[in-house]
Amino acid sequence: MQYAPTKTEQARCPFYQFKNTMTKTSKQISVALAQIEDSIALKEKIKSGLAEKIVKLSLILGNCLKKDGKILLCGNGGSAADAQHIAGELVVRLKSTSKRKALPAIALTVNSSVLTAAANDFGFERVFSRQVEALGKRGDCLLAFSTSGESSNVNLAIKTAKKIGMKTLALSGKDGGEMSRIADFSIIVPSSETQRIQEVHFLIGHIVCDLIERDFE
C-alpha cells in the first residue's frame, strides 16, 4: 500500500511547499495573461472606432492653446491621477527631445487647501466647479475624466464651464452617463470595467499630448 503523507507532513515538506507555490503561481500567471489579453482586445477595438475622435480631441485642445487659452482638467480617484498626469505632460513636455514651449494646463485635483475648503464650505459636489469659476474663461477648455460619466462634481464642473463659454470635453466609459450628454465633445470607451477604461484614457491622453506637441514644435 502506497504511503500518503498527511497535510501536516506536506506543510512541513519543502517539496510540497514548492509544488503548492508553483500551482498558485501558475494560476496567478493565468489571471495576469487574461488581463493583458483583455486590455489588448479593448485597444484593438478602439483602434478603428475612436482614432478619428482622438485626433479631433487633440485639434480642439491644440486650437484652444494656439488662441492663448488654457486647459483645465478634473476627475476623481484614478481619473484625478489621469488629469494630473496629462497636465504635467502639457506643461513640461511628453518627449525628452521636444523643444516646444510650455503649454498652460491646470489639474483641479492637486490643491488640497482649495479642495478641502470647497468641500467644507459648499460640499464635495462643488470642489471642481468652484475652481472653474475662479480659473476658467471664455475660450478655455475643460477636459474631464470619469469612467462612469456619472460623477456629480465632474458634471457640475462641465455645466459651470459651459456657462462661462469654455469648450467642454469628456472622456468616459460604459454608456457615457450624463457626462457624455452634457459635454460639447465626448469619447466613450466601450467597456464596463473601470481598470480597462482607465488604461484607454491613459493611452488617449498620451496620444493627444503627442499630437499637440508635434503641432507646437
Model confidence pLDDT, tens digit, residues 196-215: 999 999 999 999 999 999 99
- Residue 159 sits in the same domain as residue 200: yes
Q: What is the mean pLDDT of residues 181-205?
A: 97
Q: How far apart are CA 177 and CA 145, in angstroms?
A: 12
108 within 8 A of 131, measured Cβ to Cβ: yes
Polymer length of the chain = 217
Q: Per residue in 108-164, pLDDT tens?
A: 999 999 999 999 999 999 999 999 999 999 999 999 999 999 999 999 999 999 999
Task: Name the burial class of residue 138, with classes exposed (0-12), middle (13-18) and buried (19+) by CB atoms within 10 angstroms of its CB.
Answer: exposed
Is residue 1, in this structure, part of any structural domain at all? no
15 and 40 co-located in one domain? yes
Task: Give the model's pLDDT for residue 12.
Answer: 61
The domain tally of the chain equals 2
Cell, residue 30: 493565468
Could you give the residue ranges of the DSSP H alpha helices within the chain?
7-12, 14-49, 51-66, 78-91, 112-122, 129-135, 152-164, 177-182, 194-216
Considering the domain architecture, whether residues 201 and 118 belong to the same structural domain is answered as: yes
The answer on 109 and 43 residing in a single domain is no
Residue written as cell 469619447? Answer: 187
In a domain, 3, yes or no: no
d(CA 200, CA 193): 11
125 and 173 share one domain: yes
Residues 40 and 86 in one domain: no
Determine, yes or no, domain membership for 2. Answer: no
What does pLDDT average to over the chain? Answer: 92
Residue 65 belongs to a domain: yes
Q: What is the CATH number of the domain that holds 122?
A: 3.40.50.10490
Q: Regarding beta strands 105-107 and 71-74, do their DSSP bridges make them parallel or antiparallel, or are they unpaired?
A: parallel
117 lies in the same domain as 144: yes
Residue 77 corresponds to which cell in the numbers above?
480617484
Q: Are residues 30 and 136 in the same domain?
A: no
Q: Are residues 120 and 94 in the same domain?
A: yes
Domain limits at 33?
A: 8-47
| Predicted TM-score of the model (pTM) | 0.88
CA distances from 39 to 79, 172, 195, 200 (A): 18, 16, 9, 8
> Using an 8 Å Cβ cutoff, are 211 and 93 in contact?
no
Q: How far apart are CA 112 and CA 137, in angstroms?
A: 23
Interatomic CA distance for residues 68 and 73, integer angstroms: 17
Shared domain for 19 and 112, answered yes or no, is: no
Whole-Å CA distances, 207 to 85, 106, 109, 171 = 13, 19, 22, 13
Co-location of 121 and 196 in the same domain: yes
Q: Which amino acid is at 82?
A: D
